[in-house]
């Protein structure tokens, strides 16, 4: 986790140096007027706002040791969206208070603030409503469960119901192993969504038909793995057409795709690379040697074996890149493209949530 510690005064430098020694992967930025040197120490040679613009998107967490007003003015021109902005923390020179200023949930600023406070024996200052009320926000729930939020405006509305103490229901296709506030019910498949629920959270890779008259949000587990093989020269559009046909047939939303996987022989195929970029997912490459070791478990093609050295691609690529997977679709051909699909399983949803970000 890359962190920048930014100071302007001598008192700030003393605390910053102390904090740098406690934090992994951190760089300490100091006023250029100070005659200080050392590993991981760099000087600020321009005004603070211009400097912040240079580093704002280079670090996962920016830790300022200075007045909050200075920080607010310095970061204001560069704030874009809570989905991409870094965590921003503010400390006073004496290290008495640690303020979570920006990206408290998705950026992890609240967790950073708690962790730094524990290191310094300081007071964490958290102002997000869900944390103050010992509740949970939808974006925190999504982050804990490794899910993507389909619509952030939906998430805001449902979070408001949770924070206000109103009853919210959850339908989830994945297990939830951690404690939820008392006003959140996990519904089983036989329970009816009645009017007592002011909001609903759906956690599923499947398509959901939403009720426009209710506050509902959909969280997508990133648990779908696509194994893909193709003839040389297949275009991005052809590959995407085959992928979308597969997903439509299985009633799966594209947001749920964790990655695409293929054999190393196909790693330079422009169509494969561009399709992964369009879907905004990694393209995982499996070596020919690893596929050769397991190909006997799958339906093989002698034509493919003569062409690339192995007789199966999409199924072994999916299986070898998927942890504890379940088959949702075995090898299916789409005009020179083969696709197999697995759902990753046995993930410890929620068990990773902790304050050890440092």
Average confidence (pLDDT) over 340-350: 71
Q: How far apart are CA 281 and CA 261, in angstroms?
A: 10
Q: CA–CA distance from 55 to each of 12, 49, 61, 134, 259 (Å)?
A: 19, 10, 10, 33, 30
Give the pLDDT band of residue 348 (cuts 50, 70, 90): very low
189-206 pLDDT, tens digit per residue, is 777 677 788 999 999 988
Specify the pLDDT at position 351: 41
Look at the domain 3-127 and name its fold: Rossmann fold (3.40.50)
Residue range 95-109, pLDDT digits in tens = 999 999 998 777 788
What is the per-residue pLDDT for 355? 42
User: Regarding predicted confidence, which is higher, 154 or 35?
Assistant: 154
Report the distance separating Cα 353 and Cα 240, nearest Å.
34
137-192 confidence digits (pLDDT tens):
888 888 888 888 888 899 999 999 988 889 999 999 888 887 888 888 888 877 76
- Distance, in Å, from the CA atom of 6 to the CA atom of 286, rounded to the nearest integer, reads 42
- Top CATH class of 138-221 equals alpha beta
Nearest CA-CA partner of 238 in 337, 90, 130, 347: 337
So what's the pLDDT on residue 195? 78
Instruction: Please state the domain extents for the chain.
Output: 3-127, 138-221, 224-343
pLDDT score, position 146: 84
Asked, colleague to colleague, whether 138-221 and 224-343 share their fold, the answer is no
Note the pLDDT of residue 133. Answer: 59
Provide mean pLDDT across the span 22-26. 88
pLDDT of residue 129: 67
What SS3 string covers 119-140?
Answer: HHCCEEECCCHHHHCCCCCHHH
Q: Is the pTM of this model over 0.75?
A: no
Q: How far apart are the C-alpha atoms of 254 and 244, rounded to whole Å?
A: 8
Weakest mean pLDDT among 67-81, 190-204, 216-230, 344-358: 344-358
- What CATH code is assigned to 224-343? 3.30.420.180
């Amino acid at each position: 986790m890359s962190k920048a510690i930014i100071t302007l005064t001598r008192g700030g430098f003393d605390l910053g140096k102390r904090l740098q020694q406690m934090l992994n992967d951190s760089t300490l930025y100091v006023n250029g007027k100070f005659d200080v040197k050392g590993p991981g120490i760099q000087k600020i040679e321009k005004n603070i706002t211009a400097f912040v613009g240079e580093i704002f998107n280079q670090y996962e967490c920016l830790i300022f040791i200075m007045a909050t007003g200075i920080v607010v003015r310095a970061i204001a021109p560069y704030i874009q969206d809570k989905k991409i902005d870094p965590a921003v923390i503010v400390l006073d020179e004496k290290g008495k208070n640690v303020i979570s200023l920006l990206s408290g949930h998705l950026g992890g600023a609240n967790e950073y603030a708690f962790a730094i406070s524990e290191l310094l024996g300081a007071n964490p200052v958290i102002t997000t409503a869900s944390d103050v009320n010992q509740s949970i926000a939808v974006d925190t729930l999504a982050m804990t469960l490794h899910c993507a939020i389909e619509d952030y405006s939906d998430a805001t509305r449902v979070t408001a119901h949770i924070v206000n103490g109103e009853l919210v229901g959850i339908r989830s296709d994945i297990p939830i192993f951690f404690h939820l506030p008392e006003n959140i019910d996990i519904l089983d498949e036989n329970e009816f969504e009645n009017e007592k629920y002011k909001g609903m959270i759906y956690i599923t890779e499947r398509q959901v038909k939403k009720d426009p008259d209710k506050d509902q949000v959909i969280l997508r587990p990133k648990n779908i793995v696509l194994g893909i093989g193709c003839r040389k020269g297949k275009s991005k559009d052809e590959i995407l057409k085959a992928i979308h046909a597969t997903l439509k047939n299985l009633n799966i939303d594209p947001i749920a795709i964790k990655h695409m996987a293929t054999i190393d022989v196909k790693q330079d195929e422009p169509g494969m690379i561009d399709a992964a970029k369009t879907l905004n997912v990694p393209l995982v490459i499996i070596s020919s040697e690893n596929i050769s070791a397991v190909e006997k478990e799958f339906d093989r093609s002698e034509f493919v074996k003569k062409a690339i050295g192995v007789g199966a691609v999409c199924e072994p690529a999916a299986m070898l890149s998927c942890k504890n997977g379940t088959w949702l679709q075995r090898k299916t051909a789409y005009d020179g493209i083969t696709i197999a699909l697995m759902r990753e399983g046995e993930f410890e949803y929620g068990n990773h949530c902790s304050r050890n970000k440092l």
